[in-house]
Amino acid sequence: MDEAKIISVDVDNVEKESFFCYKSKLKTPGYQKKLTWLKARFEEGLRIKILYHGKRSFGFIEYLPGEYAWRAVHAPGYMFIHCIWVVGKGKGRGFGSQLLEECIHDARSDGMYGVAMVTSSRVWLVDKPLLLKNGFVEVAQAPPSFDLVVLMFDQNAPDPTFPTDWEDRATRCGEGLTVLRSDQCPYIEDATLAVVNAGAEAGVETRVVTLQSAHEIRDTAPSAYGLFNIVYNGELYSYYLKKGIVKFLNEQK
């Protein structure tokens, strides 16, 4: 396994180290909103670790106590991973496992039940094979493509869980096109704008709702991802920016 250096990002160095994503776009609204969001989360126990090999950064991991997880999941007592990402030539070199070990070490040191994460076989989240390879097991599923995976330290601890009222959550959005978004991911700003523009092109007014807290996401988001949800006429259309949304909207008329 290649040697790598892992840097911890906190409130004191985040503006210097960045948070990996959008580091070449520091002045964009997406970056600035994520930066503001982060500064409020560090006091809740959020941690970011960036992996360097030589002078280049190849990946990162972001995690925090499950009570504060910005996903539609109930995971008190667990360390919860929001994101883990390895890019480019960093793939296939064991960097993802090294980042996971950082989180696992911190969770054990903090006396937690274990480590949990929501994965997906589609986009915007890591798929579960990396986690399964590192000892995680699947404990729950949610539509359309989500798995809740756990590395358990205490076998007597309760499993983290997904909600079961996904259809009701979407129905509460009402008629028309609704985007429920948060500032946890810097890519969501452009994705939201793209949906609003698609709605305008199709002649459909779009309502944007900003989810302001982990509690709000846990209790109201119509997808397990939680951070970004496109709902049309009370049904979840997607939790990521899909191609063909204008065509879809025009076909619904």
In terms of pTM, does the model score above 0.85?
yes
Structure confidence at residue 166 (pLDDT): 98
Q: Where are the alpha helices (DSSP H) in the chain?
A: 14-17, 29-41, 95-109, 129-133, 166-171, 188-201, 214-220, 245-252
Is-contact 61 84, C-beta < 8 A? yes
Structure confidence at residue 160 (pLDDT): 98
What's the CATH class of domain 5-152?
alpha beta
Q: Measured between alpha carbons, how far is 121 from 146 in angstroms, rounded to an integer?
A: 7
Which of 1.20.120.1200, 3.40.50.2300, 3.40.30.120, 3.20.20.10 is the CATH number of 166-252? 3.40.30.120
- Where the chain has pLDDT below 70, the residues are 1-2
Structure confidence at residue 2 (pLDDT): 54
Q: Measured between alpha carbons, how far is 97 from 169 in angstroms, rounded to an integer?
A: 35
* Main-chain phi, psi angles of 100, to 5 degrees: -60, -40
How do the domains of the chain map onto residue ranges? Answer: 5-152, 166-252
Structure confidence at residue 172 (pLDDT): 97
Structure confidence at residue 3 (pLDDT): 79
Q: Where are the extended beta strands (E) located within the chain?
A: 5-9, 47-53, 56-65, 78-86, 114-120, 137-142, 146-152, 177-181, 206-210, 228-232, 235-238
Structure confidence at residue 165 (pLDDT): 97
Decide if 5-152 and 166-252 have a common fold.
Answer: no
